């Protein structure tokens, strides 16, 4: 019964007044465009470990392979949920930072332990215009040793794991770390 009610809630949340489907936030439309000409991110240290590669479904069901993204440019993974108060406190500024870096650094949300309608409402409320992978079983989170949100991870172009922060970061600190670690 709960599953049926959840499915109905998602359908209602994703349907407009005229019965037209509204695409969920964090889907394929939020994927980056072409790599900007002249983008030359700082190379990763040679001893940096590789980031755990993963494939997952975005909020709209589109498949995303993280390695395809970091093959072309640096990636910031934002581990978040709609019920995380730290996430909510920081998300507006992080969303703005993601827009500022658009196409140079890809921000990817990883949402675990969340209801689809609540996650969609959260992403819309905080103007999160980046792709969001639904980590329904927690496999991605565990591969990055994330026990609970918020957490932030920076992956260099090529897939080297540069740095991670359990508890997350505020936007100004993340901006400084991006400039230091990948955009130098």
The CATH number of the domain holding residue 76 is 3.40.30.10
Domain membership flag for residue 178? yes
Domain membership flag for residue 156? yes
Domain membership flag for residue 110? yes
Give the percent of the chain with pLDDT over 90.
Answer: 78
Section 116-137 average pLDDT: 95
d(CA 131, CA 98): 11
Domain membership flag for residue 152? yes
Domain membership flag for residue 144? yes
* Domains in the chain, number: 1
Domain membership flag for residue 16? no
d(CA 114, CA 129): 18
d(CA 98, CA 95): 5
86: containing domain: 23-33+40-183
pLDDT interval class at 184 (50, 70, 90): low
Domain membership flag for residue 17? no
Residue 30: which of 99, 122, 110 has the closest Cα? Answer: 99
d(CA 96, CA 75): 16
Predicted pLDDT of residue 45: 93
Domain membership flag for residue 8? no
- Whether the bond between 150 and the residue before it is cis, its omega within 30 degrees of 0, is yes
Residue 110: which of 156, 158, 55 has the closest Cα? Answer: 55
**pTM beyond 0.75:** yes
Predicted pLDDT of residue 26: 92
Residue 69: which of 99, 94, 106, 37 has the closest Cα? Answer: 106
Predicted pLDDT of residue 1: 44
């Amino acid at each position: 019964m709960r599953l049926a009610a959840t499915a109905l809630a998602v359908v209602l949340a994703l349907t407009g007044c005229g019965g037209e489907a509204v695409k969920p936030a964090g889907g394929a439309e939020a994927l980056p465009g072409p790599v900007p000409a002249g983008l030359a991110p700082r190379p990763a240290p040679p001893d940096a470990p590789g980031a755990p590669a993963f494939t997952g479904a975005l909020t709209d069901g589109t498949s995303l392979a993280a390695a395809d993204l970091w093959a072309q440019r640096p990636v910031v993974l934002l581990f978040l949920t709609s019920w995380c108060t730290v996430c909510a406190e920081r998300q507006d500024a992080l969303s703005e930072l993601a827009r500022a870096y658009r196409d140079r650094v890809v921000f990817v949300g990883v949402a675990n332990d969340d209801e689809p309608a609540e996650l969609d409402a959260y992403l819309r409320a905080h103007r999160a215009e980046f792709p969001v992978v639904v980590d329904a079983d927690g496999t991605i989170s565990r591969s990055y040793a994330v026990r609970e949100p918020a957490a932030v991870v920076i992956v260099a172009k090529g897939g080297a794991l540069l740095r991670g922060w359990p508890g997350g970061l505020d936007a100004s600190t993340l901006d400084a770390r991006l400039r230091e670690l990948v955009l130098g």
